[in-house]
Amino acid sequence: MAHNSVASTLFVIEDNPTQSETLMDILEAEGLHPIACFSGKEALVVCERQTAYVAILDLRLPDMDGLEVLQHLKKQIPEIKVIINTAYASLESAIEAVNRGAFAYVQKMGDVDELLAHVHRAFHEHLATYSERLEREVSIRTIELSQANMALRKEILAHKQAEEQLHATLQQKTFLLSEVQHRTRNNLTVISALLGFQANYAGDPHTQAMLTAVQARLDAMALLHAKLHREDLMTVNVPEYVTELAEMLVHNDYMAYAKQVSISYDLEPCSLVIDNALSFGLLCYEILSNACRHAFPDRQAGDIHIQFHTTDEGARELCVRDNGVGLPDGFDVTQTHTLGFYFIGMMARSLRGTVAVYRREPGTEVAIRFNEPQYKSRI
């Protein structure tokens, strides 16, 4: 029950119906809401389902001693103010009642104003105590809330500082990674230039061809480092890389031998993480270089189609098809000992992928299928 409902409710525990009715009328005239109880047991039962903080109690009841009822009432409602109203007043009974927690002790059918004064004082003290308790609870809750807010602010500040520190560390590591990538690309370019210079002075055509082939592979790796995404330096845009790699190969004097090779593309927009991109780049180089060198031996023009897409199963698939002379009779990719296909197989295995070679009319198609792990960008 809400407190404003019990602020004017009180028990009237009186076994005499006439006296009970008189008390009820007097109290109701004061704007109070008395509840009549005609025995001690009835009062205790009513007390269990109805809350009141003031009671007027007769010491002589038919079923229980009034002091015993007082004790039970105080046990059930510790805050209750019990006013003893009895015709059998004595100093001893008054002292005993006060010792058991009685709020006041008045003579029955004596001065009604005295009784009402005790009743109003009981309500006033209860309300004062209730207000003090509320203020104390509000004060405690306010302090607890203030402390919780302070702890929360400290935690937010600590998280913010940790986030700022993490961001600063990430920026530093990104800068260092950028420097490493830049130096790696520069070193690859320098080594490629040195190999090209050495190839120009090689007297043996076979040695010159080997040096130039290594140079082309280094160029493919340098291009990959140049194509790393600026945002994270850990992924490579596949369409951009494959397109530039293919154009670089067909315009390389060593690879094209002045042949007019036309390249078409069907490349799904996606990125590869750098670990897979390195193997993927070398795979592209080997497959394209094989096509440029071997697919068109007797003519100056040819077509190469490069396709890259994601299969229905979620795997990545690279297909390179030419319209050249095709594979020799009896060719088996699993049994071949040529360096190019050996290298293609090795790179495919590093991607945990598979290699398939198909005869087409005309030409040849090489398909590489592998699974790309999910890459989570850094914060």
Specify the CATH number for the domain of residue 96.
3.40.50.2300
Q: What is the pLDDT of residues 303-316, one digit of tens each?
A: 899 999 999 888 99
pLDDT score of 1 more than 50? no
**Same domain assignment for residues 238 and 365:** yes
**Same domain assignment for residues 114 and 224:** no
In the chain, the amino acid numbered 231 is E
Residue 160 lies in a domain: no
pLDDT score of 295 more than 50? yes
Instruction: Give mean pLDDT, residues 39-43.
Output: 93
pLDDT score of 325 more than 70? yes
pLDDT score for 3: 45
Instruction: Give mean pLDDT, residues 309-324.
Output: 91
pLDDT score for 299: 62
**Same domain assignment for residues 14 and 107:** yes
> Is the pTM here over 0.95, yes or no?
no
pLDDT band at 196 (very low <50, low <70, confident <90, very high): confident
Tally of domains in the chain: 2
Residue 151 lies in a domain: no
Instruction: Please give the residue range of the domain that contains residue 45.
Output: 3-137
Task: Using the 3D structure, point to which of 117, 137, 157 is the last residue of a domain.
Answer: 137
Beta bridge partners of 367: 319, 356
pLDDT score for 4: 43
pLDDT score for 220: 72
CATH number (domain holding residue 363): 3.30.565.10
Task: Using the 3D structure, point to which of 114, 137, 160 is the last residue of a domain.
Answer: 137
pLDDT score of 277 more than 90? no
Q: What is the pLDDT of residues 125-138, one digit of tens each?
A: 998 888 888 889 99
Residue 239 lies in a domain: yes
Structure tokens at 240: 């951009």
**Same domain assignment for residues 231 and 110:** no
- What is the distance between the alpha carbons of residues 288 and 246, in angstroms, rounded to a whole number? 7
Q: Which residue from 103, 102, 37 is spatially nearest to 68, judged by alpha carbons?
A: 102
Residue 146 lies in a domain: no
More confident residue, 131 or 89: 131
pLDDT score of 85 more than 70? yes
More confident residue, 218 or 20: 20
Determine how β-strand 301-310 pairs with β-strand 316-322.
Answer: antiparallel
Structure tokens at 37: 């109880």
Give the mean pLDDT of the chain. Answer: 82
Burial of 39 (0-12, 13-18, 19+ CB in 10 A): middle
Instruction: Give mean pLDDT, residues 4-31.
Output: 88
